[in-house]
Chains A and B, each alone.
With several copies, the nearest count.
Chain A
């Protein structure tokens, strides 16, 4: 299970991922206090859960072929998050740092573009809207 409603425990994730593998690259997405200039107070993450799990599994399968020495751990949080909360965490370990960075970067890039997860931003005035990356200014 890659998706969770519980806060992401980064220390536990590092312990889970860290072998004697030489290089470790962790990426964490953190809820920002603004997006595109508009202040944000909270974000609700929603997923097409069963499809999201399958798509992340598929992404990891592709990355295992592209980066055979790398090992990846992925967690994505769902539900209501506050500013400063971690929304996604990816750990890539490898004997080589170039591969650790590349696998971690490829994982977050693909997750952001192909996994059915959406986020609704809440603003100080009480309004909210679904984020549409295709309409970013």
Chain B
């Protein structure tokens, strides 16, 4: 029988550009339950930030500086960023 691990994890969320302006800060720490995914984190943030509630879907996300899909499992200590549409060059 699989052992249920009740310990949670902490991830650092980074905000840039339009998202930072909307949220009003550059970074925050979120505590999540074991097995939480990137999409779970986004759903949490949507409840906290009215600006995010207007989004029809989760924006592009990066975990530890790599683009990931929403079903990616998070781990304790991960650096997570949801990214506004990029406009370099």
**Complex Cα gap A51–B82 (Å):** 12
Q: For residue A48, which residues in chain B have a CB less than 8 angstroms away from its CB?
A: 14, 16, 62, 65, 81, 83
B89 (CB) vs chain A CBs: closest residue: A112
In the complex, B87 has a CB within 8 A of chain A: yes
Q: For residue A88, which residues in chain B have a CB less than 8 angstroms away from its CB?
A: 88-89
CB distance B88 to A76 under 8 Å? yes
Count the A residues whose beta carbon is within 8 Å of the partner chain — how many? 30
A107 (CB) vs chain B CBs: closest residue: B89
**What is the CB-to-nearest-CB distance from B41 to chain A, in angstroms, rounded to a whole number?**
17
| B-to-A contact residues, CB < 8 Å | 14, 16-18, 21, 62, 65-67, 81, 83-89
Given contacts A87-B89, A117-B89, 7 further A-B contacts (CB under 8 A): A46-B16, A47-B88, A48-B83, A51-B81, A112-B87, A117-B87, A118-B86
